[in-house]
Amino acid sequence: MNAMNEKKINNNKKKCEFEFCKVCNLNHDKGHRHKYFPNHKKSLSAFLSRFQSKLADIRFFLKNPSVLRPEHASRNRFWCVFCDADIDEISSSFACANAINHLASEDHVKNLKHFLWKYGGEMNHMDAYRILEADVAKWEKNCKSLVNEAAPSNDRSNMLQVGPSNDIRNELKNKNINDFENCTFDPIKSNLSNGVMPLHYFTNEYQISHSGLSADTNVGPFVHDAIFSIPADAWISNDLAVDWNSQQPLPYKNLISSSDLSYRGVSQGYQGGGMVNGVTSSQGSHNITQTSATPPKKAGGNVHTGGPPPWFEATEENHLSAELKPISSSFISLSNKPGKKLNPKRVGAAWAERRKIELEMEKRGEIVKSDCDDNWLPNFGRVWQSGSRKESRKEFEKEKQKLPKVESHSEMPLKIKPYISKRMRRDASESE
Amino acid sequence: MSYVLTTLTKKKEIDSIIRDTIDKVLVLRFGRASDPGCLHLDDLLSKSAREVSKFANIALVDIDSEDVQVYIKYFDISLIPSTIFFFNAHHMKMDSGTADHTKWIGAFHTKQDFIDVVEAIFRGAMKGKMIVNCPLPQERIPKYQLLYKDL
């Protein structure tokens, strides 16, 4: 026992200086222990999934390189969370070129390893956050061929550019800004011209899936509004290999779905159309989660059956009749009899306990002898008095009694006479 | 203001509210609804009623009602608005550097001042003190001249 205590003491002696955890966005002094806390793990998974989605977009361009026009270049920035660096595309000729090069670089890998060590990510998934050199080589080849193609036919290249450049703009913008209204992208046109983004589902399938969803109990695939730009879906699909026909639940991290009336929460990781944590529903308002269907309680009753509300249960602990002194007068002497929960020495504790008992008895219907007559007054410490408050009350009552006595003396000689109207009196006096 | 706070016009009502407010501070404002000083205070009270609701009850007493005159004499109310604090049917005094510790005369500068005062009373009462010190700095306490007794 002692050895264990000593160990504990030793462990607690290590005091770490404050560090900033950029995943949780807070300062802590727990040192290396911080990364094992559940809150941190939660924040980490959210953090990484957000970054993943951005990487997914870059991977798209890795596979489908397209030329980057200079006017769009300034908008395409990419912040690498591992390196804490902004990567812009000002001098690149292809979409996400700088980003791709960065993600393949040695420095980035080093930073990535350091990050995972510091914040406790899983080391086996490291490849998800970088680009392999083989892929980069392939990409460069594709870029060169693009350039060669672009040279002879400018029109074609323009058409080629319309789709992707619009994509970059929309995709990168929509990630941070929640406006999918700016989606000037025409999905059908781009699909035909590019050939890089096949429709992953047919429109009637989409509708069917939606109508079928309300009936299905376990609908995994995320539901999204029709406004979402299709390229966004395509990128996500690329990343996660969706099989739309199968209606199977996506291997998606933070997807929430429950039975029957399903609450379709789209997680933070999905930022395709800029919807973050939104509740999306296609038909009606399926924003309700069903609570666990417990059998109706018959014992207690509920609002509908007219049962008593749970807060009215009489608390047995307040029945301190044995401990209370018998009090003859209705007024509380300043005794400090103990209550059970609140500070027993608080002002008026005894009064409060007694009063509570009285109120409960009244609730139950028993007639309580009411100590409150018309002349009851609270103990009041008067302004100019000295001595205890009870005395001041007695003083006041004495004063009160003096006044009516004085009044009654003057009233005594008055006899009660019936009322005679003025006219009558006038008449009487005139007649006299 | 009085749609948020109850206005009491009868002695019995005052009695019952004093007796029935258990383990909470009872704030009784004595005044009349037409007086501007009272209006100012009532405004503050009604706005902060909800915030202090866990440890305080607030009620207004109309001093123009007949039934209540006995209390006005008993509590020695000569300036309005006057606020008296009770805890478990015990009267709580507060020393705010003024002549009269038994009540608070005048309004408050801000909601927060009022809440601070009620909190001080509550804390003192829970410790068993029947007189507490005022947490407000002197400039925020309304000053007044008390009429001396028997004048």
Quick check: A289 contacting B, CB < 8 Å? no
Mutation target vs A (from B20, B70, B74, B103; most A CBs, 10 A cutoff): B74
pLDDT of residue A104: 86
pLDDT of residue A94: 77
More confidently predicted of B145 and B100: B100
Per-residue pLDDT for A152 more than 90?
A: no
DSSP category for residue A249: P
Complex prediction ipTM: 0.76
Segment A44-59 shows an average pLDDT of 88
Using an 8 Å CB-CB cutoff, list chain B residues near A334. Answer: 90
Q: How confident is the model at residue A267 (pLDDT cuts 50, 70, 90)?
A: very low
Using an 8 Å CB-CB cutoff, list chain B residues near A401. Answer: none
By residue count, chain B amounts to: 151
Quick check: B100 contacting A, CB < 8 Å? yes
Q: Tell me the per-residue pLDDT of B103-148, one tens digit each, with 9 for 90 and over.
A: 899 899 999 999 999 999 999 998 888 889 999 888 888 877 666 5
The tokens of A33 are what?
């222990």
Contact between residue A325 and residue A337 where contact means Cβ atoms under 8 Å apart: yes
Quick check: A346 contacting B, CB < 8 Å? yes
- Mean pLDDT for all residues in chain A: 64
pLDDT of residue A178: 52
- Residue among A345, A347, A374 minimizing CB distance to B88: A347
Q: Tell me the per-residue pLDDT of B10-41, one tens digit each, with 9 for 90 and over.
A: 888 888 898 888 889 999 999 988 889 999 99
Q: Tell me the per-residue pLDDT of A191-231, one tens digit each, with 9 for 90 and over.
A: 455 555 555 655 565 555 555 444 444 444 444 444 444 44
Segment A141-167 shows an average pLDDT of 62
**What is d(CA A203, CA A130) in angstroms, rounded to the nearest whole number?**
35
Please report the beta strands in A49-92, taking only residues with DSSP state E, as ranges in sequence order.
77-80, 85-88
pLDDT of residue A258: 41
More confidently predicted of A173 and B98: B98
pLDDT of residue A74: 65
Q: How confident is the model at residue A84 (pLDDT cuts 50, 70, 90)?
A: confident
Of A54-58, A257-261, B58-62, the one with minimum mean pLDDT is A257-261
A423, with CB counted inside 10 A (0-12, 13-18, 19+), is: exposed
Per-residue pLDDT for B48 more than 90?
A: yes
Per-residue pLDDT for A235 more than 70?
A: no
Contact flag B23-A342 (C-beta cutoff 8 Å): yes
Of A131-140, A159-168, A344-353, the one with minimum mean pLDDT is A159-168
Phi, psi for A256 (deg, rounded to 5): -115, 130
pLDDT of residue B110: 92
pLDDT of residue A278: 40
What are the DSSP calls for A240-261, one per residue?
HT--TTTTPPP--TT-B--SSS
Using an 8 Å CB-CB cutoff, list chain B residues near A384. Answer: 76, 149
Q: How confident is the model at residue B59 (pLDDT cuts 50, 70, 90)?
A: very high
pLDDT of residue B122: 93
Residue A381's closest CA among B30, B91, B73?
A: B91
Q: How far is B92 from chain A (nearest CA, A)?
A: 8
Contact flag B126-A343 (C-beta cutoff 8 Å): yes
Chain A and chain B share a number of CB contacts under 8 A equal to 91
Using an 8 Å CB-CB cutoff, list chain A residues near B91. Answer: 378-381, 389
Per-residue pLDDT for A118 more than 60?
A: yes
